[in-house]
Amino acid sequence: TQPDDYDYGALPEVLQRYRAGMIVTNGQPSLSRTYASLLTAVGDTPMQTLRAGQNITFSDGVALEVLHPEQPPALGESLDDSALVMRLSYGSASFLITSDASAVAQQEMVDEGYAAPSTVLILPKHGTARALEDAFLDAVQPQIVLLESDPANRIGDPDPDTLAKVEHLPLYRTDISGTLHLWTDGNTLWLLPQIAS
């Protein structure tokens, strides 16, 4: 979603375990050593830069809609302001993958009409302080919220004020429930946490 080793750190291991047909990116370059290692791990797997408005439809009816950024960001631009945001849909079920989309990115999606209702919202920025803009949440109208958070809480996530914004919704957290398995038939959504509460 962006060239930040905190966000793509495990991708080389994933690529060793699974055969990827394509790697998608926001197109932002990076001069970091870890990013160079990632590119080595990618090898000859095709990479595609995505922009807002693009759609990829798979043969099984799954659709991937790109919501942000509108243009590939330049070297040195804010990583979070240019994070890749996508909505994965199947039937009437949709999953909004927000990565580390900043307040600026969220407002751009609201202004451009890309922030539309989604069944599942992955909370931006791991639930840090000011991670979720009210206008973005109002536009997305999620039924379920997921939070990817470090169980050791090494950087103080999630923020109580951010959690308060979604307290009226079912919230599932990886720091509490472990891996979250979600699946859908296009109408009904099922969620199975690794650790039952």
Report the CATH number at residue 153: 3.60.15.10
Residue with tokens 């639930």: 127
Is residue 89 a part of any domain in this protein? yes
pLDDT digits (tens, 9 = 90+) for 91-148: 999 999 999 999 999 999 999 999 999 999 999 988 889 999 999 999 999 999 999 9
pLDDT digits (tens, 9 = 90+) for 149-170: 877 766 777 999 999 999 999 9
pLDDT digits (tens, 9 = 90+) for 68-97: 999 888 887 888 899 999 999 999 999 999
Is residue 63 a part of any domain in this protein? yes
What is the model's pTM? 0.90
**Average pLDDT over all residues of the chain:** 91
Is residue 19 a part of any domain in this protein? no
Is residue 35 a part of any domain in this protein? no
* pLDDT score at 157: 79
Domain that holds residue 64: 51-190
What value, to the nearest 5°, has the Cα angle with vertex 69 and ends 47 and 183? Answer: 70
Is residue 58 a part of any domain in this protein? yes
Is residue 34 a part of any domain in this protein? no
* pLDDT score at 139: 98
Is residue 197 a part of any domain in this protein? no
Total tally of structural domains belonging to the chain: 1
> 80 vs 14, 115, 120, CA distance in Å?
23, 16, 21
Residues 6+ apart with CB under 8 A from 144: 119, 120, 121, 169, 170, 171, 172, 189, 191
The CA distance from 75 to 28, in Å, is: 6
- The band of 40, judged by pLDDT with boundaries at 50, 70 and 90, is confident
Residue with tokens 């470090």: 150
* pLDDT score at 146: 97
Is residue 162 a contact partner of residue 127, using CB atoms and an 8 Å limit? yes
Give me the residues paired with residue 89 across strands.
63, 94
Is residue 82 a part of any domain in this protein? yes
* pLDDT score at 6: 67
Is residue 91 a contact partner of residue 104, using CB atoms and an 8 Å limit? no
Residue 112 has, within 13 A of its CA and on its CB side, a CA count of 14
Q: What mean pLDDT do residues 16-34 have? A: 86
Query: Would you give the DSSP letter of residue 41?
Result: H
